[in-house]
Amino acid sequence: MRKKIALIGGGQIGQTLAMLAAQRELGDVVIYDIPEMESCVKGKALDLMEMAPCGNYDANVTGTSNLKDIAGADVVIVTAGVPRKPGMSREDLLAINIKTISEVAKGVKQHAPNAFCVIVTNPLDAMVYVFQKVSGLPPSKVVGQAGVLDTARWRAFIAMELNVSIEDVAGTVLGGHGPTMVPVPRLTTVGGVPLTDLLDKAAIDRIVERTKEAGTEIVKLLGRGSAFFSPAWASIVMAESYLKDKKRVLPCAAHCSGQYGVQGLFIGVPVRIGAGGVEKVYEISLNDAEKAMLAKTVEAVKATVAECKVEATA
């Protein structure tokens, strides 16, 4: 029997997720959105069914505004909410998206309590926290998509700078999904060669800054909405690792219970994702400067989470 992937929110990221999930034959796909968008997501689903003969994939894609249709989902990916407009920070979305996420969390708990849940809605680190608290789902089954995207951006900019294949750039970005995130040059390599041997400090600093502001750069360029291709694929990487028990080691906003000195918060750290969900949080030995940057990003996430004033339901 095919797996089932439920997409909560069928907007820019949701529709891209649907296409990627179907194309990669991860399973059948249900796109859920609010009643006003029901016809639209049904249209997107039908379009993807009609694309299948050219794309050569077998997957049933349906659109719905009935949450019951997500029942039995193996994976739930949440993009419900509003994206940024030029000039807005991710935190500016908090007041509106917190209501949406709380509502969605209750619905997922009711209809798909066994799903592995990937949260994408911003402000990410706070939204994944709220989703887990309100749903009461195990922290190992709730994870935020940020680090895979931030690391992809970091890697992409390095590959562009050095004119090398993206395949050979390996690295990680830790911390919150915002300007305090921590790309780690010391742990970045290009075909095994340390990045610090390939670029001088000024160039590395420039790429660090561009990575931190990469989402904002896209928001400005688009003029309407925020990035969608790259966040969608980053979420698919995480979902696929769970569905296929690939045990990939990926930077994700994961629940920390003491790791890095963080207690009870979701923060971007390297984790292993397999059939058990988030199976392990890896602790990197950081130097003092990196520790200080991580502490700063943790404080930023804490401040946003404190604004949420969310009580756990379970």
CB burial string 293-303: b at 16+ within 10 A, e below: bbbebbebbbe
Cβ atoms of 257 and 244 closer than 8 Å: no
Nearer to ligand APR among residue 77 and residue 269 (C-beta): 77
CA distances to 163, 188, 233 from 158, in Å: 8, 10, 19
Cβ atoms of 224 and 251 closer than 8 Å: no
Crossing angle of helices 12-23 and 229-243, rounded to 10°: 40
- Is 97 one of the binding residues for ligand APR (CB under 6 A)? yes
Binding track over 51-90 against ligand APR, x by CB under 6 A: ----------------------------xxxxxx------
* Residue 255 falls in the annotated catalytic set: no
- Is 268 one of the binding residues for ligand APR (CB under 6 A)? no
> How crowded is the C-beta side of 176, counted as CA atoms within 13 Å?
27
- Is 100 one of the binding residues for ligand APR (CB under 6 A)? yes
- Is 13 one of the binding residues for ligand APR (CB under 6 A)? yes
DSSP annotation string for 77-120: EE--S----TT--GGGGHHHHHHHHHHHHHHHHHH-TT-EEEE-
Label residue 180 exposed, middle or buried (CB < 10 Å: 0-12, 13-18, 19+). middle
- Is 181 one of the binding residues for ligand APR (CB under 6 A)? no
- Is 235 one of the binding residues for ligand APR (CB under 6 A)? no
- Is 226 one of the binding residues for ligand APR (CB under 6 A)? yes
Per CB under 6 A, which region of 28-36, 202-210, 244-252, 257-265 contacts ligand APR? Answer: 28-36
Could you report how far apart the first and last alpha carbons of the chain are, in Å?
Answer: 32
Q: Which of 42, 177, 255, 302 is catalytic?
A: 177
Q: If binding means CB under 6 A, how many residues of this protein chain bind ligand APR?
A: 29
Binding track over 108-147 against ligand APR, x by CB under 6 A: ------------xxx-------------------------
- Is 33 one of the binding residues for ligand APR (CB under 6 A)? yes
Q: Which residues pair with 197 in a beta bridge?
A: none
Per CB under 6 A, which region of 7-15, 250-258, 284-292, 300-308 contacts ligand APR? Answer: 7-15
Tokens of 221: 């360029």
Nearer to ligand APR among residue 83 and residue 171 (C-beta): 83
Nearer to ligand APR among residue 78 and residue 184 (C-beta): 78
Biggest CA–CA distance in the chain, Å, is 55
Residues labelled catalytic = 177
Residue ranges in contact with ligand APR by CB under 6 A: 8-14, 32-34, 37, 79-84, 93, 97, 100, 103-104, 120-122, 225-226, 228, 231
